[in-house]
Amino acid sequence: VDLDLHGDPALRRPASEAEEHLLRRGREHEAQIVGVLDYPEPVYERGDFATGAERTRDLMAAGFRGVSQGVLLEGRRLGIPDLLRREPGASEFGDWHYVVGDVKSSSRARADQVLQVAFYSRVLAATQGRQPAYAFLILKDGSEQRVDLADYGPIAEDVEARVLRIADASEDPDCGEDRRPFRSRACASCHWFPVCTAELEAKDDLSLLAGMTRGLRRMLEAAGVRSARDLADVQIEALARATRIEAPWLRRLKRASQARIERQPLAEPRNRQKPLDPSALVHLLADPFEQRVLWLGVLVPDGSGRHLREAMPACVEEELPAFLELVAGLDPNRRLLHYGEQLPRWFDECGGTRRDPGCETRFVDLARRLRGAASWPGPVFGLDDLVALGLGRDPNRVGEALAASAWHADGDLARIRRKGHADLEDLAALKARWLDDGPGGTWT
Ligand code: SF4
């Protein structure tokens, strides 16, 4: 929010191929939903929001069934919801009032989307002189999810107050904390990434350490530990007493600080778990918008090296049979190693658990094992971070997994396959380097 209001837009990173594709599909989806409703839109010159708000009021006062892309403007608060829908119940317009709706391309409502419509509803309440009881989100499948505004009133009020303090560039210390970057999972998909990275690196910020949280950073800074490097020299017991942070946590953070100083992962052999072999690596690439699997792959070691099997299901119905066929010829004792929740969740959702319960019991998620295998020289949020930090490779050298749907739309199936192969190669290399008994194991 701070950078959106006060930052230099020229410093934002451009949208990636995958992001452009998702945005385009989102816009098409919105146009499809809104087009069917056939609500009028306020007419105004681009950027002239005062006129837009006046025209929107005129449409609401005239009692139209709904308004598309209406402008809500009250003081400094501006909102342009996709939909305003008429409901019975008095407002300053007459015996009716309006509720706010927004069209989303996600399959479930997210917290930021709920806050967005809660904010629009607060502005609308001032415009129509009546608090709407609910707002709604139209999700990817066209279903409507209602948001009971009574449940979200206090949090929406708090967030709005914080945003307004940021807009005023308030010197209030609480606001200062809101305005500071913190390296998190969200950063990878944020267009301000280069700006924040430069600031965090320049300050050697504590959030650049694996395992750091905002709360821990606050406590450590209050105790005088202000940079990642400071942490490398601390006395654990004394710092634990001063901060009340548990000593094992501090030990882990101190190791992460040492890894950051050395610019390489520090192996943690004590965290090694039982050997995983015999095993095979399994992976999938999906189109999250269509909720379809585009590519499935299994990498199997055999006597002469590695053997890759793959499938590109043509439709949803083909996905599960294709996967079961890929693993059918494997020794049933062979465990199926994968990264993260995507594969088991897909397997369960498409009925695999019912159809082949034995298969599911062979799944082993490598995520926790890999995270615990070393103290990493930077935060680890997903496979991409492990590939970059643990192998020194660009995890997106073939492209981002999110772009697979764009390649599919362009008919570039070869690139989807190349991406799947590269991901499986990375998983195999991570296993060999960090989980097997050192370099030279089964997979190298
Ligand atoms: S890069 Fe990260 S810290 Fe910076 S604005 Fe984006 S999400 Fe926030």
For every one of its 444 residues, what pLDDT tens digit does the chain have, with 9 covering 90 and above? Answer: 999 999 999 999 999 988 999 889 889 999 988 888 989 999 999 999 999 999 999 999 999 999 999 999 999 999 999 999 999 999 999 999 999 999 998 888 999 999 999 999 999 999 999 999 999 999 988 899 999 999 998 999 999 999 999 988 877 766 778 889 999 999 999 999 999 999 999 999 999 999 999 999 999 999 999 999 999 999 999 999 999 999 999 999 999 999 999 999 999 977 667 778 889 999 999 998 888 999 999 998 765 667 899 999 999 999 999 999 999 988 888 999 999 999 999 999 999 988 888 899 999 999 999 999 999 999 999 999 999 999 999 999 999 999 999 999 999 999 999 999 999 999 999 999 999 865 434 433
Atom of ligand 1 nearest to the CA of 187: 2
Shortest-distance Cα residue to atom 2 of ligand 1: 187
To the nearest 10 degrees (0 to 180), the angle between helices 111-128 and 49-61 is 70
Instruction: State the sign of the Cα–Cα–Cα–Cα dihedral 40, 44, 47, 49.
Output: negative
Shortest-distance Cα residue to atom 8 of ligand 1: 181
**Contact yes or no for 441/429 (Cβ under 8 A):** no
**Contact yes or no for 306/297 (Cβ under 8 A):** no
- Using the 8-state DSSP alphabet, how is residue 13 labeled? P
Atom of ligand 1 nearest to the CA of 3: 5
pTM attached to this predicted model: 0.87
Instruction: State the sign of the Cα–Cα–Cα–Cα dihedral 57, 58, 61, 66.
Output: negative
CA-to-CA distance for 26 and 33, rounded, in angstroms? 11
What sections of 265-331 are H helices per DSSP? 316-328
Shortest-distance Cα residue to atom 3 of ligand 1: 181
Residue 268's Cβ-count burial label (10 Å; 0-12, 13-18, 19+) is: middle
Atom of ligand 1 nearest to the CA of 184: 2
Report how far Cα 3 is from the mean position of its chain's Cα atoms.
19
| CA 194 – ligand 1 centroid, Å | 9
CA-to-CA distance for 298 and 424, rounded, in angstroms? 8
64: three-class secondary structure by DSSP: coil
Q: Which residues line ligand 1 (CB under 6 A)?
A: 3, 181-182, 184, 186-187, 190, 192-193, 196
Atom of ligand 1 nearest to the CA of 197: 1
Residue from 182, 214, 381 whose mutation best tests the ligand 1 pocket (most atoms within 8 A of CB): 182
Shortest-distance Cα residue to atom 5 of ligand 1: 192
CA-to-CA distance for 279 and 282, rounded, in angstroms? 10
Residue from 192, 201, 205 whose mutation best tests the ligand 1 pocket (most atoms within 8 A of CB): 192
Shortest-distance Cα residue to atom 7 of ligand 1: 187
Element (H, E) at 220: helix 214-222
CA-to-CA distance for 140 and 162, rounded, in angstroms? 31
| CA 100 – ligand 1 centroid, Å | 28
Atom of ligand 1 nearest to the CA of 196: 4
| CA nearest neighbour of 376 among 183, 180, 181, 177 | 183
Residue from 177, 191, 196 whose mutation best tests the ligand 1 pocket (most atoms within 8 A of CB): 196
CA-to-CA distance for 322 and 355, rounded, in angstroms? 13
CA-to-CA distance for 301 and 95, rounded, in angstroms? 72
* Phi/psi at 208 (5° precision): -85, 5
Number of neighbours of residue 392 by Cβ within 10 angstroms: 9
